[in-house]
Amino acid sequence: MSDLLPLFPLPDVVLFPNVFLPLHIFEPRYREMVGDALAGDRMLGMVLLKPGWERDYEGQPPVYPIGCSGVITHAERLQDGRYNIVLRGVERFRVVEEDRTRSYRRAAIERIAEEQLKPDDRAVVGRQRAKLEAMLTRTMDRPSHAAGAQAIDEASAANLKIPSTMPDDDLINGLSQYLDLDPIEKQALLEQRGLRARAESLVELLEMKLMMARVPRARSVAH
Total domains in the fold of the chain: 2
Does 156 share its domain with 103?
no
- Check residue 198 and give its pLDDT: 98
Cα 58 versus chain centre, distance: 23
Task: From 92, 112, 132, give the residue that closes a domain.
Answer: 112
The yes-or-no verdict on residue 166 having pLDDT over 70 is yes
Q: How far apart are CA 202 and CA 11, in angstroms?
A: 21
User: Are both 80 and 103 inside the same structural domain?
Assistant: yes
**What is the model's pLDDT at position 71?**
98
Domain boundary, last residue among 112, 142, 169 = 112
Q: What is residue 197's predicted lDDT score, i.e. its pLDDT?
A: 97
* pLDDT tens, position by position, 115-135: 999 999 999 999 999 999 988
CATH of the domain at 105: 2.30.130.40
Say what the pLDDT of residue 53 is.
78
Residues 192-196 have a mean pLDDT of 96
- Among 91, 112, 133, identify where a domain stops: 112
Cβ atoms 192, 165 nearer than 8 A: no
What pLDDT, on the 0 to 100 scale, is given for residue 59? 75
Q: Which residues contact 102 (CB under 8 A, 6 or more apart)?
A: 32
Q: pTM above 0.75?
A: yes
Where would I find the beta strands (DSSP E) of 39-113? Answer: 43-48, 66-77, 83-99, 106-112
The domain of 103 spans: 4-112
Rg (CA), the chain: 19
DSSP H or E run through 6: strand 4-10
* Residue 113 host element (H or E): none
